[in-house]
Structure 1
Amino acid sequence: MASFDLNAINTALSEPTRTVSGVDFSGKSLKLDTEKDAQPIVDAINSCPDLQYLTLTGNTLGVAAAKAIAKALEHHPELKVARFSDMFTGRMKTEIPPALSALGDGMIAAGARLSLLDLSDNAFGPIGVEGLARLLQSEVCGQLQELRLNNNGLGITGGRLLAKALSANPRRLKVFIAGRNRLENDGATALAKVFQEMGTLEEVAMPQNGIYHVGISSLSDAFKKNPGLRSLNLNDNTIGGKGAQAIADALPRLKNLKSINFGDCLLKSKGAKALARAFKDNSVRLESLDLSHNEIGREACMEIVDAITSPSDAQAQGTKVVLAGNSLGGTANKKTMRDKLGETAVLSDGEGSDGDEYVTDSEEESSGDESERSEDSATEDAQHLDTSADFVKDVIALDNSGVEEIETDVGRFLKEPTSLNLDRLGPEAADVIDAHLQSIKEPADLIQAYVEATFCVSGLYQDNNTAAQISRKLYPILLSRAGQQHAAAWLLADTMLRGLGLIKSENKEYRPRWSLPGCYTALGSVIEEAYFPPALRDTLRFFIASKLPVLGEDTKQAVLRQRTLQQHNTQYA
């Protein structure tokens, strides 16, 4: 099932007697839930004596299937290319970390040395990086040249976790792709520190990440340490005047830079002029420059054109310049620009369109000032949350703002979950709580309310026999009510993980009202029941295994007493 793969071919070229081979299941739209479902892929891997690449793009992979594939990978140390993009469609995001972890463990066991890892278009968010951390820190990625993480929903937290994983052992990446991830200033700054240490980057693409001039400045400092940089794509971030000046300061050290994409970056005239000066002063010879839709005035646009075409030995016809969506002036101006730039220039969005007049010459000075003010104010949005603290604490608060706690016996118990308040609900407390919560309409609020109520009761598990019985009755009710809601699987897993202190809550104003040791004891008593979803069971066990060392001592001991909470073949400290 071999297919064209440039990286594998490059490897083969260095070994003339070696042919390119591998397994490619891309675009099959297979739904792989069980070990049996994964058998065709396992058989293909086992029958490939020289597995240089594995492509699973465009299928959907569950935990059990991932484990089966990982087992097959343990026998292939020759693996160089892993294309795992768009591989978890329809999966709850908490299924993805254990699946990724399993695949990584298979490659680690084999002693593989990857040159390319592609996990794009998998919306696993920050917790997905947890599943990747061990792999990224291992020697499997010791020779990694390309890391592609486009459209993963990393956010600031994911950016920081990724930077931490990459910095554990010095990496020498050539290609780093991480567009559409909302990294913002903090995530970009964390990665910039790692880039400084690398010094080997040739291509960086981080479009649509909400990065403002603070993050752009950090990245620019890192680019100075990567003189081999050839391609830079920061499209649809807010570079502005300050960010453009930071990049301009870096350009003298980037003699190999051939392609720049700063489209939709709010450069305005001030930013464009800063870049124009740098292009001209440093005789930059680009093959491609995209500054489209930046509210650049016609005077500044002309400065860009003059800067690009100014070197006496430069062949302007060889540089593709995109200035569409800016104020280029009238027909005469555009003709002058096209004469200088050549027919490859893109000066409007559509054929014959002259509707790109966004900024007038008289507005250029004021728009530059406004740009600075917008940059300064916008950075506050990127600093809205401090997610750099330890990822797990012994207790995690959940936001219960969607639950209306009226002053009834149930409301009183949910607010103060004591044995006395639980006793007031009587022997049918589980049904009473269920009746109280069913009036909540919003799915996310309803699931959160049932999880919190279950944990409030479970927290008393070790101190109150009645609480133990009620919690065991509440769990099937919780899972039943959650299962009736849209997108329930990931909402339920996410809420339970937060309530159990296994992932960090972004809301710092709330504090838990339940005891974690009791919650783990209660969970251990029901997790293997037939009504408990297997995917949720695997997800909880995975996070318990990975976070056990940082839980509080009482909580840790409660987990250790519940063997049902432990992953198979997992050793606990």
Structure 2
Amino acid sequence: MASDDIAQLADALSKTHVGDGELSFKGLGLKLDNAASVEELIREIEQYQGLRALRLEGNTVGVDAARAIAKALESKDLLQRCYWSDMFTGRLRSEIPTALRSLGSALMSAGARLTELDLSDNAFGPDGVRGIEQLLKSPSCHTLRELKLNNCGMGIGGGKILAESLIACHRQSSAHGAPLRLRVFIAGRNRLENEGARALAKAFQLMGSLEEVHMPQNGINYSGVMALASAMRHNPELRVLNFNDNTFTKKGTLAMAQALRHLRNVQVINFGDCLVRSEGAIALAAVLRDGLPILKELNLSFGEITEAAALVVAQAVTDKPHMEKVDLNGNCLGEEGCEALRELMENMDKGDMLSSLSDDEGEPEDEEDDDDQENSDDDDDHANDDCNEDDEEDRDIVKENGIIRKYSPEKARESPPEVMSFLSCPSAEKLLQMGETRTDLSQQVDVSDPREAAGVFLKIASLYREDTETKTAVLETIDAVLKKLLSASALHSYCFLSTLLVMMGLLKGEDKVKKVSLVPGQLLCLEHAVQQEYFPQHHASLLHTFTSKSGEALKCCSSAGERLSSALEKKCRDHH
């Protein structure tokens, strides 16, 4: 080593002891190639009695240097925290696993019991994960509480190796009577994609101890998101959920919404840049209304959410006593929508909670809806090419978690023949012939199948006539159906209402749902229903938000549309 290098190292090492058993070489920019280059550093490690934390980040460590450091660590049985991020700059990728194995072997030999391991910002790929595989499985990691592997280029292969290692660690630690209880997991920017996410989800579900999960920017689509959602609900202590910049779309968002219903300790949700879209935002608003009692931050930025859906979210968060920040920037609100959102928050005395809306994308153009929808579906198909083979796994997740289902023809075949006959070809005559048993139609409506439920409602409501007998029969049936649907959980009832809005042309949907040709009777049935006790004010508020923003869709039934708007306004006003 050149004399000026030695002098620089000696000077740097004089500042390394930072208390609490920590020895820090952080950010010194040292180029440690061989045993000679780390002599001073090793002396510091060997002489430090009670070493509990070692910081090596911000230097570059070669294989021979790593072996020498490892030798010094073999006697450090009290070591608990290894801050080893960004310590292989300029090294060949093939060198890194060897260096990591040396360091890991030393910790195992020492009998160290780690609580924190940070290897972030080391571009070691799947082979690098192989380099820490034995360490992760060993007793040295049975006590691990924080694992940070941000920006390591793990890829799908690395994600799978990591998951298998964590599962093995949990299994072996459980056999010793003290199961692995990992609390913090950070693995952003790793291209884990669906397969890596699904593998890790199995590990997360098994552990059940997570408090923070950060997996932004991993190329995960709805299939992987659904698996992660399923795992999240088995981690009741979760406080922070950060999946920023993955692709949820409707399926993934509904799965996450369903998982969040089971979590009471969540304080931060970051689903920004996740293509949550309007239907997803409405589902999350339902969960906000029903649960998440101590939520502080919600990020739904850059999610293609339109004005009305953003307002529904805002209405749901204003009742949260601990809420500090709501980020809806970069969505599709338009100037008037941004103003309406700010006004709503200010009226609730929560104006300072709303993040800037400076990057709003403006209102979506209606005439492009159909083209956009087709393109969007194509994008989703291509983005999830590997999802077909995982349908069975998806179905298991759906079955376990009761995630909102699509219409299934098998279910329809279980219905009584007169119901089948009516639903396949509805008519006022058939409804009247059913007599009092027509209210049994409500039993055929599945609250977990919003598309079917909305379809049944619209079919019955389309038969509305002003003659007393038909009107009474239709309204009685509508009351029975809606009473069941709206008394379900907020998530299921909101999903029903958002699907209804899509079918009525008041909300742009993500799935290929056929819009109905609206008739006045459907709006008049809603007008009647809104005035009933079973129709909660917050449901009326949701409908009112959309009908007031989508007047064009109701023009074909202007008189009935005005009556519905009036009833909704009254319900909302009376509540306030």
Normalising TM by the smaller chain, what interval? 0.5 to 0.7
Give the one of 295, 304, 307 matched to 1:295.
304
Residue equivalent to 2:282: 273
Q: Is the 8 A contact 1:268 1:368 kept in 2?
A: no
Matched, 1:191 2:190: no
Residue equivalent to 1:327: 332
Q: Is the 8 A contact 1:297 1:360 kept in 2?
A: no
Residue equivalent to 1:99: 99
Q: Could you report, residue by residue, the CA deviation over 1:134-179 in whole angstroms, capped at 9, with x for unpaired residues? A: 1001111110000000000000001001111111120310000000
Counterpart AA for 2:207: M
Distance 1:369 1:249, change over 3 A: farther
Distance 1:301 1:273, change over 3 A: same
Q: Could you report, residue by residue, the CA deviation over 1:287-328 in whole angstroms, capped at 9, with x for unpaired residues? A: 01111111111011111111112x4xx337x42001110123
Matched, 1:244 2:247: no
Where does 1:312-323 land on structure 2 (aligned, <5 Å)? 314-315=320-321, 318-323=323-328
Structure 1 residue 335: Cα displacement? 2.8
Q: Is the 8 A contact 1:241 1:371 kept in 2?
A: no
Q: Is the 8 A contact 1:279 1:307 kept in 2?
A: yes
C-alpha distance in 1 between matches for 2:313 and 2:227: 24
Residue equivalent to 1:304: 313
Residue equivalent to 1:28: 28
Give the one of 329, 336, 339 matched to 2:343.
336
Residue equivalent to 1:68: 68
With structure 1 as the length reference, what TM-score do the two structures score? 0.60
5+ residue gaps in structure 1? 5-18, 385-573
Q: Could you report, residue by residue, the CA deviation over 1:88-122 in whole angstroms, capped at 9, with x for unpaired residues? A: 00001000001000000111110000100000000
Distance 1:46 1:138, change over 3 A: same
Structure 1 residue 3: Cα displacement? 6.2
C-alpha distance in 2 between matches for 1:273 and 1:297: 11
Structure 1 residue 332: Cα displacement? 3.7
Q: Could you report, residue by residue, the CA deviation over 1:330-364 in whole angstroms, capped at 9, with x for unpaired residues? A: 154133243143213114136xxxx5315367878
Residue range with higher mean Cα deviation, 198-207 or 334-343: 334-343
Distance 1:252 1:149, change over 3 A: same
C-alpha distance in 2 between matches for 1:377 and 1:303: 31
Residue equivalent to 1:492: none
Q: Is the 8 A contact 1:269 1:367 kept in 2?
A: no
The structure whose RCO (Cα within 8 Å, separation 6+) is larger is 1
Matched, 1:178 2:187: yes
Structure 1 residue 64: Cα displacement? 0.5
C-alpha distance in 1 between matches for 2:61 and 2:307: 52
C-alpha distance in 1 between matches for 2:388 and 2:165: 22
Residue equivalent to 1:149: 149
Residue equivalent to 1:168: 168
Structure 1 residue 283: Cα displacement? 5.3
Distance 1:383 1:185, change over 3 A: farther
Q: Secondary structure of the equivalent of 1:132?
A: helix
Distance 1:177 1:135, change over 3 A: same
C-alpha distance in 1 between matches for 2:85 and 2:113: 19
5+ residue gaps in structure 2? 1-14, 171-179, 390-576
Counterpart AA for 2:380: E
Q: Secondary structure of the equivalent of 1:69?
A: helix
Structure 1 residue 26: Cα displacement? 0.6
Q: Is the 8 A contact 1:290 1:322 kept in 2?
A: yes
Matched, 1:260 2:266: no
Distance 1:358 1:265, change over 3 A: farther
C-alpha distance in 1 between matches for 2:344 and 2:56: 47
C-alpha distance in 1 between matches for 2:388 and 2:48: 49
- Superposed CA RMSD in Å reads 2.3
With structure 2 as the length reference, what TM-score do the two structures score? 0.60
Q: Could you report, residue by residue, the CA deviation over 1:236-262 in whole angstroms, capped at 9, with x for unpaired residues? A: 000111100000111111110110111
C-alpha distance in 1 between matches for 2:113 and 2:142: 7
Structure 1 residue 375: Cα displacement? 2.8
Q: Secondary structure of the equivalent of 2:36?
A: coil
Structure 1 residue 372: Cα displacement? 5.2
C-alpha distance in 2 between matches for 1:286 and 1:322: 13
Q: Secondary structure of the equivalent of 1:23?
A: strand
Where does 1:71-90 land on structure 2 (aligned, <5 Å)? 71-90=71-90
Q: Is the 8 A contact 1:54 1:81 kept in 2?
A: yes
C-alpha distance in 2 between matches for 1:383 and 1:42: 54
Residue equivalent to 2:485: none
Identity level (%): 46
Q: Secondary structure of the equivalent of 1:78?
A: coil
Q: Is the 8 A contact 1:299 1:361 kept in 2?
A: no
Aligned length: 363
Q: Is the 8 A contact 1:284 1:308 kept in 2?
A: no
C-alpha distance in 1 between matches for 2:269 and 2:366: 25
Structure 1 residue 274: Cα displacement? 1.6
C-alpha distance in 1 between matches for 2:17 and 2:344: 44
Q: Could you report, residue by residue, the CA deviation over 1:177-205 in whole angstroms, capped at 9, with x for unpaired residues? A: 00000000000000000000101000000
Where does 1:339-350 land on structure 2 (aligned, <5 Å)? 339=346, 340=348, 341-349=350-358
Q: Secondary structure of the equivalent of 1:122?
A: coil
Q: Is the 8 A contact 2:219 2:246 kept in 1?
A: yes
Q: Could you report, residue by residue, the CA deviation over 1:499-522 in whole angstroms, capped at 9, with x for unpaired residues? A: xxxxxxxxxxxxxxxxxxxxxxxx
Residue equivalent to 1:211: 220
C-alpha distance in 2 between matches for 1:255 and 1:371: 34
C-alpha distance in 2 between matches for 1:376 and 1:370: 10
Matched, 1:57 2:66: no
Counterpart AA for 2:107: M
Residue range with higher mean Cα deviation, 259-268 or 198-207: 259-268
Q: Secondary structure of the equivalent of 2:241?
A: strand
Distance 1:334 1:216, change over 3 A: same
Counterpart AA for 2:266: L
Residue equivalent to 1:493: none
Structure 1 residue 370: Cα displacement? 5.9
Distance 1:364 1:253, change over 3 A: farther
C-alpha distance in 2 between matches for 1:371 and 1:55: 46
Q: Is the 8 A contact 2:253 2:276 kept in 1?
A: yes
Q: Could you report, residue by residue, the CA deviation over 1:477-502 in whole angstroms, capped at 9, with x for unpaired residues? A: xxxxxxxxxxxxxxxxxxxxxxxxxx
C-alpha distance in 1 between matches for 2:383 and 2:90: 34
Q: Is the 8 A contact 1:248 1:278 kept in 2?
A: yes
Residue equivalent to 2:394: none
Where does 1:404-443 land on structure 2 (aligned, <5 Å)? none
Counterpart AA for 1:253: H
Distance 1:383 1:26, change over 3 A: farther
Of Structure 1 and Structure 2, the greater helix share is in 2
Residue equivalent to 2:10: none
Counterpart AA for 2:379: S
C-alpha distance in 2 between matches for 1:365 and 1:139: 57
Counterpart AA for 2:343: T
Give the one of 217, 229, 246 matched to 1:220.
229
Structure 1 residue 367: Cα displacement? 6.2
